[in-house]
């Protein structure tokens, strides 16, 4: 509604301002139809002590400063005006009464702009007022529709036209109002700044079918051909009528989201995500295209439709499906035997995957449609040491991650550890399982000698996984082999084991020595001769096992060294024996404890060196 004032503020200011200073009052804006006229109300004031005999005035167009030579609209002294205003401008007010009201007629669009008044009291008493009025030349009535039109509730639509031309008064009528209601004309109304308008009202109850109805207002001037029409649709806020349901898309595919709205005027459609504007346009519908979607674009998208009369919004969810990412493993990778180990395997995928942890093809833990899997190993043992796999899988792919669990424990000497003798050589094998790697030493308690693995001349070591294999090689064992104790040590403990000798029957000749072998050979011959003589006496027809001219077969250990055998043959047999004993690819380092007669001759105080003396001398040299 237009609110009327019986005493406009404009005139209150005029009355209160009389006497004292320079000042002017006029409407800040005023409008008029093209081809009609307009009266710009104006009042001004100046100091009372000036008391001029004659008061003159000048109206300027678009500039208040004479030095800029603005177009002169009206000038009381000379009546000389700019060509654009010739015959179009005259003063309605009396300058002596401080009334500077200006009348402009035959309005055309180029006359729209700012109008300034300058008071001229003679001499230096001239003043251009900064106050001005802006003239707007229009061609259509102004139809005002309420901000919100609700079906079933009465609304008021108004048609307003300016009425500031004293020579021409407008008349209003409605167009296209049939079926909506009868209009009511309120007549001429005064606005706050002293301007006038003609107002006509139309009341009706809208229905949904009335959406978009075209309604017009016509302003005509009697006794002229001037007619002005303005139309307004029945405006209403947007309603989103078309939108995607929830969307599922595979990573890398193209996605198109649609939002359509019904409103008048057309709405501003905006696609948003997490408060960020992705696309917007004034349209009935708007697509949001996403090329090669990624999991980062998974989420909720909102469409907002708004115009001057209201807004509406809806959301749609986009779910981007993709294969599991490479699993991440977070947990203890090193543990001491007996501790509890907790390992967490996690991944990202859509949908959630099946997670499985296994070791050596044995499933240890699994979970379905979860992004995390916890593996608990209470009281870990050395058997838990090794490589594990965490596998994540869904219908779009599979990814896996390997990780190693290291279980640390005290040394364990395995049962396959033993010693074996071949001719005059003894080799001892000590197999130790431990983590971290142990230090290994061989002790010969009967001879008070200890040899550790750092002494490469005697010991050969090789590590494979958790197993450490150490080999001690002793030569010159003409006597019975010594006792050998293997000791393994790391930061978690120490383990010792006396290594047993394997293949005792093969060690017989090594134990009895060369002299014993000759005696045994003589006894064997005597036994054979005795049996032969006995059979002959009993006249038993039997072929003798051998005759005096034959070379009798000699039973001996395959590892027994035959005196006088060629050195080449002996070396080959020795190498074959050691490899059979240890199953090694290469020959371990040896300690040669046998000496030739020439070597012994170089030692005048002793006929031979024992193993203990050899190692003792070696140890003495190392200490020095």
Q: Are residues 80 and 41 in the same domain?
A: yes
For 555-594, what is each residue's pLDDT tens digit? 333 333 333 333 433 444 444 434 433 443 344 444 443 3
Distance from C-alpha of 120 to C-alpha of 130, rounded to nearest angstrom: 15
- DSSP bridge pairs for 468: 432, 463
Q: Are residues 110 and 55 in the same domain?
A: yes
Assigned domain for 42 exists: yes
User: Sorting pLDDT into bands at 50, 70 and 90, what band is 157?
Assistant: confident
- Residue 612, pLDDT score: 41
Q: Are residues 167 and 70 in the same domain?
A: no
Average pLDDT over the chain, rounded to whole? 79
Out of 406-410, 421-425, 466-470, 618-622, which region has the weakest mean confidence (pLDDT)? 618-622
- Residue 1, pLDDT score: 37
- Residue 21, pLDDT score: 84
* Residue that terminates a domain, selected from 232, 250, 280: 232
Out of 217-221, 479-483, 510-514, 599-603, which region has the weakest mean confidence (pLDDT)? 599-603
Assigned domain for 572 exists: no
Assigned domain for 582 exists: no
Distance from C-alpha of 577 to C-alpha of 419, rounded to nearest angstrom: 13
Q: Are residues 226 and 245 in the same domain?
A: no
- DSSP bridge pairs for 202: 157, 183
- Residue 535, pLDDT score: 61
Alpha carbon distances (Å) from 296 to 56, 231, 390, 549 = 76, 49, 25, 101
Q: Are residues 425 and 496 in the same domain?
A: yes
* Residue that terminates a domain, selected from 350, 380, 409: 409
- More confident position, 29 or 541: 29
Q: What is the CATH number of the domain that holds 389?
A: 2.60.40.10
Assigned domain for 361 exists: yes
List the one residue out of 512, 524, 595, 608 whose CA is nearest residue 560: 512
User: Strands 29-33 and 126-138, how do they pair?
Assistant: parallel
Please say whether the beta carbons of 449 and 415 come within 8 A.
no
The total number of structural domains in the chain stands at 5
Assigned domain for 521 exists: no
* Residue that terminates a domain, selected from 320, 345, 373: 320
User: Sorting pLDDT into bands at 50, 70 and 90, what band is 158?
Assistant: confident
Q: Are residues 197 and 255 in the same domain?
A: no
User: Sorting pLDDT into bands at 50, 70 and 90, what band is 325?
Assistant: very high
For 487-503, what is each residue's pLDDT tens digit? 999 999 999 999 998 86
Can you give the residue range of the structural domain that contains 295? 240-320
- Residue 599, pLDDT score: 37
- More confident position, 604 or 158: 158
Sign of dihedral through CA atoms 205, 208, 211, 214?
negative
How far from the centroid of its chain's Cα atoms is residue 215's Cα? 55
Assigned domain for 524 exists: no
For 104-149, what is each residue's pLDDT tens digit? 999 999 999 999 999 988 888 888 898 999 999 999 898 887 766 6
Q: Are residues 384 and 489 in the same domain?
A: no
Q: Are residues 245 and 170 in the same domain?
A: no
For 236-263, what is each residue's pLDDT tens digit? 788 899 998 889 999 999 999 999 998 8
Q: Are residues 223 and 178 in the same domain?
A: yes
Assigned domain for 98 exists: yes
How open is the CA angle 326-330-334, to the nearest 5 degrees? 125
Assigned domain for 514 exists: no
Indicate the pTM of the whole model: 0.47
For 464-484, what is each residue's pLDDT tens digit? 989 999 999 988 765 667 889
């Amino acid at each position: 509604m237009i609110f009327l004032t019986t005493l406009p503020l404009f005139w209150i200011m005029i009355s209160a301002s009389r006497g004292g200073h320079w000042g002017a009052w006029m409407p800040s804006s005023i409008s008029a139809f093209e081809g009609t006229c307009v009266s710009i109300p104006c009042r001004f004031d100046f100091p009372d002590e000036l008391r001029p005999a004659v008061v003159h005035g000048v109206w300027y167009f678009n500039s208040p400063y004479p030095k800029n030579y603005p177009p002169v609209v009206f000038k009381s002294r000379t009546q000389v005006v700019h060509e654009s205003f010739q015959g179009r401008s005259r003063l309605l007010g009396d300058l002596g009464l401080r009334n500077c009201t200006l009348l402009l007629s035959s309005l055309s669009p180029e006359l729209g702009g700012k109008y300034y008044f300058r008071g001229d009291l003679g001499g230096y008493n001239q003043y251009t007022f900064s106050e001005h009025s802006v003239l707007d030349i229009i061609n259509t009535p102004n139809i005002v529709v309420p901000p919100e039109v609700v079906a079933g509730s009465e609304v008021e639509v108004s048609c307003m036209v300016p009425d500031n031309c004293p020579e021409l008064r407008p008349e209003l009528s409605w167009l296209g109002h049939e079926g909506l209601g009868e209009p009511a004309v309120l007549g001429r109304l005064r606005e706050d700044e002293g301007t006038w308008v003609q107002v006509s009202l139309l009341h009706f109850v809208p229905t949904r079918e009335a959406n978009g109805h075209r309604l017009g207002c016509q302003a005509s001037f009697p006794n002229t051909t001037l007619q002005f029409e303005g139309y307004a649709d029945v405006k209403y806020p947007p309603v989103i009528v078309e939108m995607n349901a929830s969307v599922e898309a595979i990573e890398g595919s193209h996605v198109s989201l649609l939002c359509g709205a019904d409103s008048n005027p057309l709405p501003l459609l905006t696609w948003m995500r997490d408060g960020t504007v992705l696309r917007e346009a004034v349209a009935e519908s708007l697509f949001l295209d996403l090329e090669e979607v990624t999991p980062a674009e998974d989420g909720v998208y909102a469409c907002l439709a708004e115009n001057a009369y209201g807004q509406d919004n809806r959301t749609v969810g986009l779910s981007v499906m993709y294969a599991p990412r490479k699993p991440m493993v977070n947990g203890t990778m090193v543990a001491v035997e007996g501790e509890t180990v907790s390992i967490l395997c996690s991944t990202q995928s859509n949908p959630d995957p099946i997670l499985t942890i296994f070791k050596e093809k044995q499933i240890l833990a699994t979970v379905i449609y979860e992004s995390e899997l916890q593996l608990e190993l209470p009281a870990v043992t050395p058997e838990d040491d090794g490589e594990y796999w965490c596998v994540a899988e869904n219908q779009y792919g599979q990814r896996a991650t390997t990780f190693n669990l290291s279980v640390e424990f005290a040394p364990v000497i395995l049962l396959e550890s033993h010693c074996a003798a071949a001719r005059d050589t003894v080799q001892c094998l000590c197999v130790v399982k431990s983590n971290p790697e142990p230090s290994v030493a061989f002790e010969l308690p009967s001879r008070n000698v200890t040899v550790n693995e750092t002494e490469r001349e005697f010991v050969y070591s090789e590590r494979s996984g958790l197993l450490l294999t150490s080999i001690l090689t002793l030569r010159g064992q003409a006597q019975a082999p010594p006792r050998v104790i293997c000791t393994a040590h790391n930061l978690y403990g120490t383990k010792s084991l006396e290594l047993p000798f394997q293949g005792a029957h093969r060690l017989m000749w090594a134990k009895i020595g060369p002299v014993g072998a000759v005696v045994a050979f003589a006894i064997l011959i005597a036994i054979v001769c005795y049996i032969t003589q006995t059979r002959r006496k009993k006249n038993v027809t039997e072929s003798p096992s051998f005759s005096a001219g034959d070379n009798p077969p000699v039973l001996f250990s395959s590892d027994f060294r035959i005196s006088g055998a060629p050195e080449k043959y002996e070396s080959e047999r020795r190498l074959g024996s050691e490899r059979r004993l240890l199953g090694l690819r290469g020959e371990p380092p040896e300690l040669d404890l046998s000496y030739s007669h020439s070597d012994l001759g170089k030692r005048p105080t002793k006929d031979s060196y024992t193993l203990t003396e050899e190692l003792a001398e070696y140890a003495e040299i190392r200490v020095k």
